[in-house]
């Protein structure tokens, strides 16, 4: 009996991918904290995960060879939102370093939690394979 890795890992493989994308977005915000006119952005994790879960349940059908395949990156870019600053700066930059660093730290913790869960799944599969 074959068990697909995607089925065995459940939603956590997708969660890791989205958390990784969010890490990049938050890092861009932090890197541009002093760039005049830069607008801070963030990714709505729940919305992207729900969209990917629904897309996985009902895969995109193509009826013609010229149709383009579904792109996860396009879904992620479509879910990037602008962050509303608590105290906007005079130069038009909306990055608030403390907020971005807190979001980055929280996202990192959640990434590590998902990674540990996936690691536990793999450990369980290895135990089942070895028969220990």
For range 104-127, the mean pLDDT: 91
pLDDT tens for 75-111 read: 556 689 999 998 888 999 999 999 999 999 999 999 9
Please give the model's pTM, rounded to 2 decimal places. Answer: 0.74
Non-local (6+) Cβ contacts of 118 within 8 A are 9, 12, 13, 16
pLDDT tens for 36-80 read: 999 999 998 888 888 877 765 455 566 766 665 554 444 556 689
């Amino acid at each position: 009996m074959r068990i697909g890795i995607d089925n065995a890992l459940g939603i956590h493989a997708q969660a890791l991918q989205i958390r990784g994308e969010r890490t990049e977005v938050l890092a861009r915000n932090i890197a541009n904290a002093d760039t005049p006119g830069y607008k801070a952005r963030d990714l709505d994790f729940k919305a992207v995960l729900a969209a990917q879960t629904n897309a996985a349940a009902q895969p995109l059908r193509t009826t013609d060879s010229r149709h383009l395949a579904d792109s996860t990156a396009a879904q992620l870019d479509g879910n990037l939102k602008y962050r509303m600053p608590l105290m906007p700066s005079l130069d038009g930059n909306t990055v608030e370093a403390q907020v971005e660093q807190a979001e980055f730290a929280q996202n990192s913790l959640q990434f590590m939690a998902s990674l540990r869960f996936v690691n536990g799944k793999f450990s369980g599969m290895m135990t089942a394979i070895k028969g220990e």
